[in-house]
């Protein structure tokens, strides 16, 4: 845990290895930035005039040992022309400055950023200084020993710190390789979370999954030597009478594709296929630590999709927990099979609403690009609330249609449904249409995070690998639900 501490020191006087300031485009310098400019004899305004400092959104400039202030380094982050509620800018600007500074070990970095919600900016700072190099002796990104934050109230500080650490943990679970994170170790992590954060955890092992007739989930797991499990995390922050929100996550700890084997190129990052589950776990952690006043059940289905003499096969017909029969035409469309059974368990938990998160389809990345989550629903009002939460959290999510015509695409000649659509077009939607078969009439929103959850290349504000996408959105959504009760 990186401590985040409020400082009342000014930017010119603070004792820190570095300070972070913002500059806005075509607007006069203000606040701490103006104060540092004055103390350094107009250094910042001069460099802006000379075009050495850019105020373009997320551009970074580093100044070493400017005379007139205590800190040995100043990082100036461009904010473009910010609006006060820009959550994405708050998170990313703090994260980008942190990432630049984390290239070297630092004791303390002081942030004098005044853009958007402070809790999001703090969460960003906590994540900019953490990378994917878990197993490198010589780190490319070294976490700060502490973070100082100026002009912040206790509440934002606490919220930002809890949220930021939950996102760090989510990223770490995803970045851990599949020889470290497999169904049982992921479940053990949930049990640990339940104890430290304060929620009840129930783990269904393989035997229980058989008793519960989770035939779709179990089929995916059949080829693996790692036993599957399903984890139910029950957080009670609201009145007992209130039906919980259900958060469901795809926890495929490695997706080889099964007998419909992936190429090495598409398999190489498939440790990330439990990102949906990790996102639910991170959200549960933050929701419980923030003591949000509502009830939430997190459910994750954990399996490894592997190849062996026991693997499920093309043409197999499975019976899902809800009784629907499924013809398997591609063992690489495994996520929807796992979620089919987990969604049915979520219904049994009497959830009032459902959200599921899954690295479900490459097609969603084709449709929306690498950085945007795809959102699909059976209930527009519920979807609108999820989209509003994403907007407020500063995360990019975009709805795809669920037109009834798509239902025909998953009809099977031998079973109730088949696990792939006809042809490759609209693959994100046919996958969602498949999931819809298992939610009954519960308002449900599906979020395909195949693009944003895991990055091939680093960005200015986040290392390559796991991004922690959508944790902020879920926490925001639950906070909104709590506020209305
Ligand atoms: N886990 C993959 C989807 C994925 C792709 C996640 C890229 C992250 C990055 C999923 O299980 C999968 O293999 N989907 C197939 C579905 C197809 C067989 C209908 C796909 O997208 O190709
Ligand atoms: Mn797959
Ligand atoms: Zn998968």
pTM for the full predicted model: 0.98
pLDDT, mean of residues 14-38: 96
CA 89 to chain centre: 17
Q: How far is CA 121 from CA 159, 161, 234, 288, 392, in A?
A: 11, 10, 29, 21, 13
pLDDT, mean of residues 141-150: 98
Q: How far is CA 314 from CA 31, 133, 219, 419, 438, in A?
A: 64, 38, 11, 10, 22
| DSSP structure string for 11-60 | TTT--SSEEEEEE-TTS---HHHHHHHHHTTSHHHHHHHTTSS--STT-E
Q: Determine the Cα–Cα distance for residues 124 and 115; give it in Å rounded to an integer.
A: 12
Task: Supply the mean pLDDT for the chain.
Answer: 97
What is the reported pLDDT for 172? 98
Residues lining ion ligand 2 (Cβ < 5 A) are 255, 332, 334
Q: What percent of the chain has pLDDT over 90?
A: 98
Give distance in angstroms: CA of 450 to centre of ligand 1. Answer: 8
pLDDT band per the 50, 70, 90 thresholds, residue 63? very high
What is the reported pLDDT for 91? 98
What is the reported pLDDT for 462? 98
**Hey, how many other C-beta atoms are within 10 angstroms of the C-beta on 349?**
15
| DSSP structure string for 3-20 | -EEEE-S-TTT--SSEEE
The DSSP bridge partners found for residue 356 are 248, 446
pLDDT band per the 50, 70, 90 thresholds, residue 321? very high
Q: Which two tokens stand for residue 314?
A: 């093309």
Q: Is the pLDDT score of 383 beyond 90?
A: yes
What is the reported pLDDT for 186? 98
Active site residue 262: yes
The position carrying tokens 């990082």 is 75
Q: Whose CA is nearest to atom 5 of ligand 1?
A: 362
What is the reported pLDDT for 289? 98
pLDDT band per the 50, 70, 90 thresholds, residue 67? very high
Using one digit for the tens of pLDDT, what is the confidence trace for 220-269? 999 999 999 999 999 999 999 999 999 999 999 999 999 999 999 999 99
Q: Whose CA is nearest to atom 13 of ligand 1?
A: 332
At residue 295, φ and ψ (nearest 5 deg) are -100, 135
The position carrying tokens 């009784």 is 323
Give distance in angstroms: CA of 358 to centre of ligand 1. Answer: 10
What is the reported pLDDT for 344? 98
pLDDT, mean of residues 165-191: 98
Q: Of 57, 106, 324, 336, which residue is the catalytic one?
A: 336
The position carrying tokens 């006060």 is 84
417, 421, 423, 427: CA torsion to nearest 10: -170
**Hey, how many other C-beta atoms are within 10 angstroms of the C-beta on 81?**
11
Q: Which two tokens stand for residue 312?
A: 């499920």
Tell me 459's DSSP state.
B
Q: Whose CA is nearest to atom 3 of ligand 1?
A: 361
Atom of ligand 1 nearest to the CA of 453: 8
Active site residue 46: no
Task: Please enumerate in sequence order all residues whose Cβ is within 8 A of that of 427, keeping only pairs 6 or more positions apart, or say none.
Answer: 361, 362, 363, 364, 366, 421
Nearest to 27 by CA among 77, 85, 82: 82
Residue 474, H or E segment: helix 471-483
pLDDT, mean of residues 29-38: 97
Q: Which two tokens stand for residue 109?
A: 């970095």
What is the reported pLDDT for 194? 98
Which ligand lies nearest the alpha carbon of 452? 1
Give alpha helix (H) positions in 235-379. Answer: 264-267, 275-289, 335-348, 362-368
Q: What is the dihedral sign for C-alpha 357, 360, 365, 367?
A: negative
pLDDT band per the 50, 70, 90 thresholds, residue 65? confident
Sheet hosting strand 18-23, strand order edge to edge: 4-7, 146-150, 108-112, 18-23, 73-78, 60-64
| DSSP structure string for 126-185 | HHHT--S-TT-SS-SS---SEEEEES--HHHHHHHHHHHHHHHHHHHHHHS-TTT--HHH
Q: Is the pLDDT score of 84 beyond 80?
A: no
Using one digit for the tens of pLDDT, what is the confidence trace for 184-208? 999 999 999 999 999 999 999 999 9
The DSSP bridge partners found for residue 462 are 459
Give the three-state DSSP class for 110: strand
Atom of ligand 1 nearest to the CA of 262: 13
Using one digit for the tens of pLDDT, what is the confidence trace for 422-463? 888 999 999 999 999 999 999 999 999 999 999 999 999 999
Give the three-state DSSP class for 329: coil
Angle at which helices 275-289 and 471-483 cross, to 10°: 40
371, 84, 386, 91: CA torsion to nearest 10: 40
Q: Ligand 1 — pocket residues by CB below 6 A?
A: 255, 273, 330, 332-335, 359-363, 420, 427, 450
Give alpha helix (H) positions in 222-370. Answer: 264-267, 275-289, 335-348, 362-368
Q: What angle do CA 174, 180, 184 make, to 5 degrees?
A: 95
Atom of ligand 1 nearest to the CA of 419: 19
pLDDT band per the 50, 70, 90 thresholds, residue 369? very high
Q: Is the pLDDT score of 38 beyond 80?
A: yes
The DSSP bridge partners found for residue 298 are 233, 247
């Amino acid at each position: 845990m990186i401590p985040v501490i409020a400082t009342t020191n000014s930017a010119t006087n603070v004792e820190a290895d570095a300070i972070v300031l913002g500059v806005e485009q075509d607007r006069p310098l203000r606040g701490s930035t103006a104060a540092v400019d004055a103390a350094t004899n107009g250094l910042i305004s001069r460099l802006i005039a000379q075009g050495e400092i850019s105020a373009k959104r997320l551009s970074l400039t580093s100044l070493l040992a400017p005379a007139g202030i205590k800190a040995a380094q100043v990082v100036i982050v461009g904010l473009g022309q910010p609006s006060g509620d820009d959550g994405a800018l708050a998170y990313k600007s703090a994260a980008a400055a942190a990432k630049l500074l984390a290239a070297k070990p630092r004791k303390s970095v002081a942030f004098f950023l005044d853009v958007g919600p402070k809790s999001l900016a703090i969460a960003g700072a906590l994540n900019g200084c953490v990378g994917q190099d878990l197993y490198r002796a010589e780190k490319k990104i070294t976490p700060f020993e502490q973070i100082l934050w100026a002009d912040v109230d206790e509440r934002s500080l606490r919220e930002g710190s809890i949220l930021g650490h939950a996102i760090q943990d989510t990223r770490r679970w995803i970045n851990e390789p599949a020889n470290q994170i497999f169904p049982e170790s992921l479940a053990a992590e949930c049990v640990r979370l339940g104890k430290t954060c304060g929620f009840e955890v129930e783990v269904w092992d393989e035997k229980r999954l058989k008793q519960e007739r989770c035939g779709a989930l179990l089929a995916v797991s059949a080829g693996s030597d790692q036993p599957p499990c399903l984890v139910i995390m029950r957080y009670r922050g609201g009145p007992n009478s209130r039906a919980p929100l259900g958060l469901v996550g795809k926890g495929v700890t490695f997706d080889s594709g099964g007998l419909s084997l992936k190429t090495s190129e598409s398999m190489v990052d498939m440790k990330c296929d439990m990102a949906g589950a990790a996102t639910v776990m991170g959200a549960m952690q933050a929701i419980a630590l923030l003591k949000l006043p509502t009830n939430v059940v997190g459910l994750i289905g954990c399996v490894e999709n592997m190849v062996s003499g026991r693997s499920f096969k093309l043409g197999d017909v499975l019976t899902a927990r809800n009784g629907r029969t499924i013809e398997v035409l591609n063992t690489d469309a495994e996520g929807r099979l796992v979620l089919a059974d987990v969604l049915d368990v979520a219904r049994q938990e009497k959830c009032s609403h459902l959200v599921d998160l899954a690295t479900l389809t490459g097609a969603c990345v084709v449709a929306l690009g690498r950085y945007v989550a795809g959102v699909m629903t059976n209930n527009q009002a519920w979807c609108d609330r999820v989209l509003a939460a994403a907007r407020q959290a500063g995360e990019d999510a975009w709805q795809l249609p669920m037109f009834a015509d798509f239902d025909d695409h998953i009809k099977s000649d031998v079973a109730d449904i088949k696990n792939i659509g006809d042809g490759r077009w609209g693959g994100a939607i046919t996958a969602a249409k498949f999931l819809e078969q298992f939610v009954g009439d519960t308002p449900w929103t599906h979020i395909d995070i195949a693009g944003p959850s895991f990055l091939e290349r680093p960005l200015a504000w986040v290392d390559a690998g796991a991004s922690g996408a959508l944790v902020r959105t879920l926490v925001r959504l639950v906070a909104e639900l709590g506020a209305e009760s």
